[in-house]
Amino acid sequence: MKTSRSTTRHPDHVDHHRAQHLSLETRQIITEDGVASVLVNDSESPLGWLARRKGRDGRSMISPHQFIAGEKLRADFTRGNMAPCMTANWAAPTGGRPRGAGSNPGEMTDIMMTSRQRVSQALDACGPEFSGVLMDVCCFLRGLEDVERERNWPARSAKVVLQLALDRLARHYGFASEVRGQASKVRTWLAEDAAFES
């Protein structure tokens, strides 16, 4: 799976002053309706930072398939309106129940429901060992140092755990990494004394 990247300095629909403080890029992504162009602010995403940063070997700290998997999880999280509300709802009448999409399960849209289901399925597929770090970094946009500090992990360990988690997430989504090396020629895993039943 490929994404095309092109730097965008000041797009028409983003304020000129705001755009100069952002790291905006246009990407082609695959959606349910086909290929769509989206404008992404890489500076807000820890995954964007990791994808741009090179390690000692000269390669990106996360691979393209890991980046795409993490961004897909974040997109579903955002579409599912799963982030906790941090502001007051001024549209709600005083003393009444809050209004707005997602405040009542009966008011959820189909897109929100399916997005939440996809997030749940993805996290279940990754297991409890990796789902927390995926939520922290991909969805809540926490930096790796913050994750290490909050979980009392050794320095620079969050990157390794995140890479493993993103690999499992990418496998769940069906994004394959590039395979290198020669195929092994294993003929059988049976013990020598095993017999086939007819």
pTM of the full structure: 0.63
Q: Rounded distance, CA 177 to CA 188, Å? A: 26
Domain boundaries, the chain: 1-43, 45-83+104-176
pLDDT digits (tens, 9 = 90+) for 156-184: 899 999 999 999 999 999 987 654 545 54
Angle of helix 157-173 versus helix 110-126 axis, rounded to 10: 120
Least confident of 13-27, 68-82, 101-115, 141-155: 13-27
Decide if 167 contacts 177 (C-beta within 8 A). yes
Residue 168 or residue 191, greater confidence: 168
Question: Residue 110 pLDDT > 70, yes or no?
Answer: yes
The structure tokens 């997030």 sit at: 119
**Helix, strand, coil fractions of the chain, as percent rounded to 5:** 45, 10, 45
pLDDT digits (tens, 9 = 90+) for 2-47: 444 444 444 455 566 555 555 555 655 555 566 656 555 655 688 8
Rg (C-alpha) for the chain, rounded Å, is 21
